[in-house]
Amino acid sequence: MASRRFFVGGNWKMNGNKESLLEVMNTLNTASLHEDTEVVCAAPSIYLDFARSGLDPRFGVAAQNCYKVEKGAFTGEISPAMIKDCGADWVVLGHSERRHVFGESDELIGQKVSHALLSDVCVVACVGETLEQREDGSTEEVVYAQTQVIAENVSDWGKVVLAYEPVWAIGTGRTATPEQAQSVHEKLRAWLRAHVSDDAADSVRIIYGGSVTAANCRELASQSDVDGFLVGGASLKPEFIDIINARA
């Protein structure tokens, strides 16, 4: 099996101002962190330059979204080219808030993934089911369908991190048990093996997102197919350091 470097993303969402985000960045810059963990912070688009200039180079910077074309009459959107121009190398696509609050379809998310990768921007691609879908037993059907559309648009799996984010566990305080997370991650890896390649299945990092905290991160990180986290609110708090060091 290929060695998969632990990956922790911090999704700042629509939070913070320059003063508060500078505090977050200073905390990260001065922290003692596990050197084998890759850390990427997803800043609001208006603060991408600020985040890239304020964070130590050991941290990556991501946008939280982008559009499917390089430029044009798309008011309010940003392109992968703009993300690169700000010095960032990552984008988060398909987050449940983009799907369920802003109505983004699987097709649109796939198009965004394709264009981001062709623009040399790495992608954290999110999949996950709602509580209703979990309770009616369709978790696998939902995440496989979402992953299928992403996979159809991936030109380089080396630039993709797959994030499993059960919608029912995001910002709710409810967290998938380590067993629940491992089960879905294991099935997603098996799906990659069956539908993409053995190499992709072995090398692609599948990370978990959904109310990850300092209290539960170590047990989650101990699961064999959990390769890291995508962290929301806790990424703005000092406990983010503990989450980054979950495997230290």
What would the pLDDT profile of 87-116 be if each residue is shown by its tens digit?
A: 999 999 999 999 999 999 999 999 999 999
Residue with structure tokens 């009459």? 73
pLDDT more than 90, % of the chain: 94
Catalytic position from the list 34, 95, 100, 219: 95
Cβ 21 vs Cβ 43: under 8 Å: yes
Note the pLDDT of residue 3: 85
Nearest to 127 by CA among 66, 180, 212, 184: 184
The question of whether 115 is a catalytic residue gets the answer no
Supply the CATH number for residue 11's domain. 3.20.20.70
Note the pLDDT of residue 8: 98
- Does residue 127 lie in a domain region? yes
The total domain count for the chain is 1
User: In the chain, what is the greatest distance between 2 CA atoms, to the nearest angstrom?
Assistant: 48
Catalytic position from the list 97, 104, 129, 165: 165
Q: Is the pTM of this model over 0.75?
A: yes
What range defines the domain where residue 84 resides?
6-244
- Does residue 144 lie in a domain region? yes
Note the pLDDT of residue 172: 81
User: pLDDT class for 55, splitting at 50, 70, 90?
Assistant: very high
- Does residue 1 lie in a domain region? no
- Burial class of residue 227 (count of CB atoms within 10 Å of its CB; 0-12, 13-18, 19+): buried
User: pLDDT class for 1, splitting at 50, 70, 90?
Assistant: very low
The question of whether 95 is a catalytic residue gets the answer yes
- Does residue 128 lie in a domain region? yes
CA angle 163, 23, 96 (to 5 degrees): 25
Cα distance between residue 207 and residue 115, in whole Å: 22
